A and B are shown apart, each in its own frame.
Chain A
Amino acid sequence: MKMNKRFGLKVASVGLSALILAGCSSAPSTSGSSGSGGESSDGDGYKIGVIEVQLNDESTNRATWFNDYIAPKYNCEFMFSETCSDLDSCMTFIENAAMAGCDAIINYYAVGSDTEALVQLCAEYGMVYTENGGRNAANEAVFTSNYENFAGNFQADQPATGKLFYDYLEESLDTSVEHGFIVLTGNAYQGNAQQTEISSNMLSALQDLYGLTYESTIADLVASSAPIEATNDKGIEIYCYPGAYSTSGWLEGFSAALQTGKYDYSLQAYNCLSNTATAIEEVESALNKDITVIGFGSFGEALTTAMNSTDMFGNQSVSMSTVKFTSLVSAMAFSKVYNCLTGNRDACLDENGEPSVLLFQMEAVTSPEQLAEMSSWDTTDKWVADYDFVDSLLADRTEGLTSAQAQENIYAMNYDAIKARLG
């Protein structure tokens, strides 16, 4: 009898939890829209949630710009996620952000075809959404479905990025001499939008330079989860090598591919310049062969070290890297959500009335001096995206602002303009 009582108590306790749970289910799914998410945190200012895909020096710099520079001036508050590397963690953060009273979400994790799911989730909580990604077949629906809370996307101008690689290769590469290329496609095979775009750009640049035709489509080559030869009609040795350096056996495989002696250019679509440097150096030494490294990078200790190191032939370990200014990209993201929050969503729409994608141009770095100069720009005391620039992207501070004009303003913030201002 005593036992039964105890058991009854347990069932009652846990059943209570279950009842609360069931009670929650009876609430209509739209109930969240009237929740705290839709209301401004203090009546005037806005609270914005930022989804970070990785926590590194770039995200630290971004947080400093948002918290210390933007927040006081525009009466905003920012809340940052832990690392979100899948859709579920993004959804969890969005839900938590809504509970914490956020009005908008800036997502730095490009979820590609799942954008619509996140836009719909934000809509449930009455939050504005923007993502670091482009517009493509996979997420076309979200641009055409007229979601009021979708501010559009922002990303690197991919053709322009491809052009940076193309220009560098055109300038440095003698196509009359036999060369081989290993393209590190990173997590493109897992659908990583940025790495997919950059890998595609690199393969396109080679296609244009040599006038070759691949037997497979570039999309298939980039999406392959296994290393694959990009066989082509000109017989140029091109090898797509997917995966991340942290995976067991990846560096060994990369080294093994280089040791075939077929490749003397390493084109890296994801940020692993310092991670591959030792493997490359050892193969150079073993084969007595110079390997040129160009690839995607970001300002920080790793790139600085890689750029300042030389190989056994006396060449820079990394010949060229593309970088971006954190505050510039963040300004685009901020303008997207801020314009929507202030009732100026029109400034986020293109000429067809659909959410626009704002583009920024990456910059090429080819020398340690140039890197040192550029690294010193986007810091606490001299941000690339200063108040004037941010204002030029906000409709309530720039009269009659359209998305096209905002795009022009962003393109105007190029290397020369920044150098002239921050020199």
Chain B
Amino acid sequence: MIRFDNVSKTYPKQNRPALSDVSLEIEKGEFVFLVGSSGSGKSTFLRLTLREERPSSGEVHVMGKDLGKLSNWKVPHMRRQLGCVFQDFRLLPNKTVAQNVAFALEVIGKPKSAINKVVPEVLDLVGLGGKEDRMPGELSGGEQQRVAIARAFVNRPMLLIADEPTGNLDPQNSVGIMKLLDRINRTGTTVLMATHDQAIVDQMRKRVIELDKGLLVRDQARGVYGYQH
């Protein structure tokens, strides 16, 4: 699903590489935590996976495509096959819950009939049935993140990328979001989640990839957040 071959990334005007000679492979259907302190290269790793950046050297393969060789105009098509969730939810404040999810389908040109059918389905799936017409500002943080997950998942992507999805949530809401991500993972979707949340990582016992100063320092099949933190 995701393969990094000796990937390094150095941003312009910076001496130290943000990512240095990282090689790893994530299989279809896996649930993977990406951990590491701030500046460890987590964000760069995700940006390379989303092809918001290109590697300085090495190859990034996502869903069978070499992203370094993918031409610009094919990038939107590639992004339609994966979903993204962020710490700050990234919802449109002037659209209702249902409109926020529908927006993602409208801008890729889905017909109205299909949108009307799948939006209520996916809102039910994330546990927001009955709140279709609420505005994001009226919802709790946990509910807003569920809307964002609904939007990311509405196209049934093969890969879901989550960048600290519980970063702004209290522990109770965080557990709810993790249960939802776990359910999505069980449908066969690969989940890659960057996080700082030690409790969640320790509890889930999934594969853990740790980065430190751009280097891959740990890749553990059923890992915990860290040996000593």
User: Do the two chains bind?
Assistant: no
Residues of B within 8 A of A (CB): none
Residues of A within 8 A of B (CB): none
